[in-house]
Chains A and B, each alone.
Chain A
Amino acid sequence: MKPLRVLIVDDEQELVSALVERLDLRGIDAEGADNGAEGLEKIKGRDFDVVLLDLKMPGMDGLEVIRRMHLDQPDLKIILLTGHCDADNTEKGKRAGAYDCLVKPVNIDTLLQLLNQAAGR
């Protein structure tokens, strides 16, 4: 089976690089992007299974990124990974098309489980 391909979009670069490396160590093909625009650029013509997306970022916020990513790839699974998973944000996220919402910091095993579930594995 091909390794799971995950894109992490978050403006905290150190968090992204640590998470990318942790997922890589678990056999996941992970990549990072520092903002929504870079995330949109990275998914073009690429087959990521899941996108992990922060909600509050400079420029485009997470909800706008979901809308734009789904214009390009309507079936792309996007999980919000944020400190703001309250009922309001979760509802807004799901309405925008997010698969689920996880609160940071997330347990790596919980994250893996949700990534696999979102990717249908």
Chain B
Amino acid sequence: MTKEDSRLLFERGLQFLGRQTASQSHEVTNVLNIINEMAGLMGDLLYSAGQGRPLDPDRLTQLTTKIAAQVKRGNQIVRAINQFGHSADKPLAVFDVQAVLERITFIAQRPASLHETLLETDFPEQTVALENSPLGFQQAVFTAFEIALAAATDKRRITIGYRLVSEGLLLTVHSDDPLIDHEDVAEKAKFLRLLVATLGGQVITLLDDDAPHRIELLFPKQTGEG
């Protein structure tokens, strides 16, 4: 690996961590804003009741239920970003692939939604353990997702899946739309190849004319394999 590659991997790793943290903290702010407006509305209704306007108890119940739902949503986001942050603790660890993919898919929901794209998962019944860099693995999956997202037209679907093959774990990102090899995507694809190689894996399919809808990444079950 060249010095330039090392620098690029380091910078992109930090950017990935920072961007996802910023994006999820924005999601938490959205939740707090909703709770703020609902609490304000409850205050308004109680104030109006004090002025003689009838107060509907069911309306207050609805609002408390909605606030509870937002608190639950906020907790999910905070838990995901906390676990995501901790995934940088160890450069090498054994992790549950499905749990990690569920988390990165959860984090990717917002960019998918901004592109009006449905992001789905297609996981086997049994999860597998992988020994690798948890953060690097998530960055590879997210970069593949971004490449697919760049090509997705409105209201289309991207599916993230994986399966065990004899050589290791095959991760698949499938898009309804054929992937486009424009400048930004080409740069991301180049980086993905470097990242996956650094993780001891291989890019099997990426921007291939024969499989334009699919990205396939192969990771050894343990580093040192493959």
Contact = CB atoms under 8 A, between A and B. Distances in A.
Given A57-B114, A58-B114, A83-B33, A18 B41 contact: yes
Contacts of A68: none
Contacts of A45: none
B114 A104 contact: no
B38 interface: yes
Interface in A1-39: 12, 14-15, 18-19, 21-22, 25
Contacts of A112: none
A19 B66 CA distance: 14
Contact of A25 (B33, B36, B48, B66): B48
B154 interface: yes
B37 interface: yes
Interface residues of A, number: 16
A59 B71 CA distance: 27
A104 B31 CA distance: 11
B37 A22 contact: yes
A21 B48 CA distance: 13
B53 to A, nearest CB: 9
Interface of A: 12, 14-15, 18-19, 21-22, 25, 56-59, 83, 104-105, 108
Give 10 nearest A-B pairs by CB, closest first.
A18-B37, A105-B36, A104-B33, A15-B34, A105-B33, A18-B41, A14-B34, A58-B116, A18-B38, A25-B44
